[in-house]
Structure 1
């Protein structure tokens, strides 16, 4: 089973059970953001987590095996058209250089890891309209001289 078929099976099971990523993550004691990413094929899952996800969603062992496969992280390089994804793309386009400058002033010349990384999505209720709080937490990796 490839990652695309795996994702189709997992998404169908999630929909059939009426589950949210928040519920799945909570019930499995895993980050809902990480579970969603693994189920969408963008991260591999260690064997025990793959088995737990597959059993929880009542999909076959071939899905658990596919969850363990290391992904090829490729996405469409065109400007995204989905409004939510486009806005995130816009944030990076508008604030990317700003974030780079501020991070490098604080840490030096380097990057924020997306490997040693976690992310959370929270809802902040506000009378003027609910707010989305994204927390990106990545290890700083300095560039080395040699």
Structure 2
């Protein structure tokens, strides 16, 4: 059994059970964004979490060790995504990436925002012109260290 197989089983079980990613996260006691990424194969799970997922999603027992493996991260098959939602995130980076970089350097100095020591939240914000999506990235600042 490989990770892609386990991901397909998880998604199939989620549909059959009518579970949302938020509901699964609640049952695991984990953040919604982390849980979704882990279920989609982008994070390894500890043994207890993997066993809970196997039980909750009625997966075969051999799925548990697969869920614990460190994954090959990056789930897109192309450099420029074609899915409209993912493309818009890419477009935001294309348009505002240099602005984000300039403001991080102005505020923090020469360095980067970690995507390893990182949190993200996705929220719905009611707005009179139509509901909006609020995405918050929170990553540890890592200064460049020149020896």
TM interval, short-chain normalised: over 0.9
**Number of the residue aligned with 1:97:** 98
The reply to whether residue 62 of structure 1 matches residue 62 of structure 2 is yes
The reply to whether residue 25 of structure 1 matches residue 25 of structure 2 is yes
Give the distance between the partners of 1:61 and 1:125, measured in 2 at CA. 42
**Number of the residue aligned with 2:86:** 85
**Number of the residue aligned with 1:9:** 9
Q: CA RMSD in A?
A: 1.1
- Give the 3-state SS of the residue equivalent to 1:127 in structure 2: coil
**Number of the residue aligned with 1:39:** 39
TM-score (norm 1): 0.95
Q: Give ranges in structure 1 of 5+ residues lacking alignment.
A: none
Q: Give ranges in structure 2 of 5+ residues lacking alignment.
A: none
Note the alpha carbon deviations across 1:98-146, whole angstroms, 9 max, x for none: 0000011111111111111111111111221001111111111111010
Give the distance between the partners of 1:72 and 1:6, measured in 2 at CA. 14
TM-score (norm 2): 0.94
| 1:27 Cα deviation after fit | 2.3
Give the distance between the partners of 2:27 and 2:47, measured in 1 at CA. 18
Give the distance between the partners of 1:43 and 1:82, measured in 2 at CA. 22
Give the distance between the partners of 1:36 and 1:63, measured in 2 at CA. 17
Instruction: State the aligned residue count.
Output: 146
Give the distance between the partners of 2:46 and 2:27, measured in 1 at CA. 17
